[in-house]
Amino acid sequence: MFWFGLLVRALAPALRDPERREIAGLFLFAAIAIPVFYLPAMFFDGTTHFSVVDAWRFWIIHLWVEGFFEFFVTVMVAIIFLQFGVVARLTATRVIYLDAILYFAGGFIGTGHHWYWTGQTSFNLALSALFSALEVVPLTLITLDAWDFVRLSRPGSDPARERVEVPHKWTFYFLMAVGFWNFVGAGIFGFLINLPIVSYFETGTLLTINHGHAAMMGVFGMLGIGLIVFAIRQTVDEAQWLVLEKYVRVGFWGLNGGLLLMVVMSLFPAGVLQLVDVLENGYWHARSLAYTGGDLARLLEWCRLPGDLVFIVFGVVPIAIAAVRAYLKNRKTLPAADVRIL
Name which position in 40, 196, 204, 306 contacts ligand HEM (CB under 6 A): 204
Name which position in 199, 210, 235, 256 contacts ligand HEM (CB under 6 A): 199
**Between 62 and 213, whose beta carbon lies closer to Fe ion?**
62
Name which position in 37, 84, 149, 191 contacts ligand HEM (CB under 6 A): 191
Q: Does 53 bind ligand HEM (CB under 6 A)?
A: no
* Residue 245 interacting partner from ligand HEM, Fe ion, none (CB closer than 5 to 8 Å by kind): none
Q: How many residues bind to ligand HEM according to rule CB under 6 A?
A: 25
Residues 237-256 within binding reach of ligand HEM (CB under 6 A):
none
Pick the piece of the chain touching ligand HEM (CB under 6 A) from 37-45, 214-222, 285-293, 296-304: 214-222
Q: Does 113 bind ligand HEM (CB under 6 A)?
A: yes
* Residue 120 interacting partner from ligand HEM, Fe ion, none (CB closer than 5 to 8 Å by kind): none
Q: Does 211 bind Fe ion (CB under 5 A)?
A: no
Window 122-161: contact mask with ligand HEM (x via CB under 6 A): ----------xx-xx--x----------------------
Distance of CA 161 to the CA centre of its chain: 26
Q: Does 168 bind Fe ion (CB under 5 A)?
A: no
* Residue 211 interacting partner from ligand HEM, Fe ion, none (CB closer than 5 to 8 Å by kind): ligand HEM
Q: Does 188 bind ligand HEM (CB under 6 A)?
A: no
Name which position in 55, 62, 75, 176 contacts Fe ion (CB under 5 A): 62
CB of 116 to Fe ion, least distance (A): 11
The answer to whether residues 96 and 78 touch, using CB atoms and an 8 Å cutoff, is: yes
Name which position in 63, 92, 100, 193 contacts ligand HEM (CB under 6 A): 193
Distance CA 87, CA 179 (A): 18
Name which position in 28, 216, 227, 231 contacts ligand HEM (CB under 6 A): 216
Secondary structure of the chain in HEC code, one letter for each residue:
CHHHHHHHHHHHHHHHCCCCHHHHHHHHHHHHHHHHCCHHHHHCCCCCCHHHHHHHHHHHHHHHHHHHHHHHHHHHHHHHHHHHCCCCHHHHHHHHHHHHHHHHHHHHHHHHHHCCCCCCCHHHHHHHHHHHHHCHHHHHHHHHHHHHHHHHCCCCCCCCHHHHHCCCHHHHHHHHHHHHHHHHHHHHHHHHCCCHHHHHHHCCCHHHHHHHHHHHHHHHHHHHHHHHHHHHHHHCCHHHHHHHHHHHHHHHHHHHHHHHHHHHHHHHHHHHHHHHHHHHHCHHHHCCHHHHCCHHHHHHHHCHHHHHHHHHHHHHHHHHHHHHHHHHHHCCCCCHHHCCCC
| Residues within the interface to ligand HEM (CB under 6 A) | 61, 65-66, 113-114, 132-133, 135-136, 139, 186, 190-191, 193-194, 199, 202-204, 208, 211-212, 215-216, 219
